[in-house]
Amino acid sequence: MKIYLVFSKTGTWLSNLLRFVLKKKYVHVSIALNDKLNAMYSFGRINPSNPISGGFVIEDLRQGVYKKKSKSECIIYTTIVTKEQYDKILLKLENYEKNQKKLKYNFLGLITAGFNIRLKRKNHYFCTQFAATLFIETGVFNSEKPPEFFKPMDIINNLKNYEEVFEGYVIDYVTNYDK
């Protein structure tokens, strides 16, 4: 079964700051279970107009910050997981969604990770920490590196197989897909 990883550059102040610090183009990661990418799971802005309101989010390339920031760019990968891994991912995502109000964005952990200080906080994640935790807990990959230290490309580097599906402006992917 296929799952999708969407790495994006939205141009928000946090995205720009992380790009400057990490020296990477794409600093946000979301996980989707289909190629329509209308339900992408991650940790980020709950309200696109409020940069401080962060937590577990279900994003859509056609809505929210992607709609607001018309020059958002992305690179999309797909990877194959077993039926058992897919079912575990689905179960975990349902649990995150059910407990959405308790889940917060790990701003502090993002900062400490930059100084190579591990800070694990209950119910707090940043996007790559969430993706790494999800993939480690569901057996998609194993890693000695704690999820609190994952950077976006660490996710790809830990996958056994993946394929690039698209790179470019979000609007181009959406326009081509929705034809």
Give residue-wise pLDDT tens across range 87-145. Answer: 999 999 999 999 999 999 998 998 898 888 999 999 999 999 999 999 999 999 999 99
Average pLDDT, integer, range 26-37: 95
Helix (DSSP H) and strand (DSSP E) numbers for the chain: 7, 8
Range of the domain at 83: 2-177
pTM of the model: 0.93
Number of domains observed in the structure of the chain: 1
H runs (alpha helix) in 42-160: 64-68, 83-98, 107-114, 127-137, 152-158
> Rounded to the nearest 5 degrees, what angle is found at the Cα of 13, between the Cα atoms of 55 and 108?
45
Mean pLDDT across the stretch 45-64? 86
Across the strands, what pairs with 75?
7, 167
Tell me, what CATH number does 135's domain have? Answer: 3.90.1720.10
